[in-house]
């Protein structure tokens, strides 16, 4: 994996992993398309696999409100790729800042 400072933003890192939609459009209006699947196949596979495990926990009622809402609105595979994209962006931010992961506080 290259140095995280090479990427200008978290979206650039997620695009390198192949987890962002390919943009196309005309007349200045951008429309997201399918996920590009470019980049590191193994990293993308592990991110989606981890997201699938999180969705399995969310189906048991254990998960963030954002994830529970996403699973309710979208198909499971699509939700897994969206969660993997979010995880890649968080990972990039942690690598750039050198911060440690702070999980969401447990619900009471």
Structure confidence at residue 48 (pLDDT): 92
Q: pLDDT at position 102, please?
A: 76
What pLDDT is recorded for position 108? 43
Q: What is the pLDDT of residue 66?
A: 87
How distant, in Å, are the alpha carbons of 21, 34, 47, 105 from that of 31?
9, 10, 25, 35
The pLDDT, as a whole number, for residue 31 is: 65
pTM of structure: 0.79
pLDDT 10s digits, 15-37: 888 887 766 667 777 666 667 67
What does the angle CA 31 – CA 4 – CA 79 come to, to the nearest 5 degrees?
A: 45
Q: What is the DSSP string of 22-45?
A: EEEEETTEEEEEEE---S-HHHHH
- Mean pLDDT, each 10-residue run in order, the chain (108 residues): 79 84 70 69 90 88 84 90 91 86 61
Q: What is the pLDDT of residue 32?
A: 65
Q: Which two tokens stand for residue 105?
A: 């506080």
pLDDT reported for residue 17: 86
Domain boundaries, the chain: 4-97
């Amino acid at each position: 994996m290259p140095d995280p400072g090479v990427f200008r933003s978290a979206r650039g890192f997620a695009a390198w992993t192949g987890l962002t939609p390919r943009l196309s459009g005309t007349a200045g209006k951008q429309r997201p398309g399918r996920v590009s699947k470019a980049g590191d196949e193994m990293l993308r596979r592990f991110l989606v696999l981890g997201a699938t495990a999180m969705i399995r926990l969310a189906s048991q009622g254990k998960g963030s409100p954002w994830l529970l809402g996403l699973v309710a609105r979208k198909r499971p595979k699509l939700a897994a790729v969206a969660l993997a994209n979010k995880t890649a962006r968080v990972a990039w931010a942690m690598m750039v800042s050198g911060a440690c992961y702070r999980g969401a506080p447990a619900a009471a």
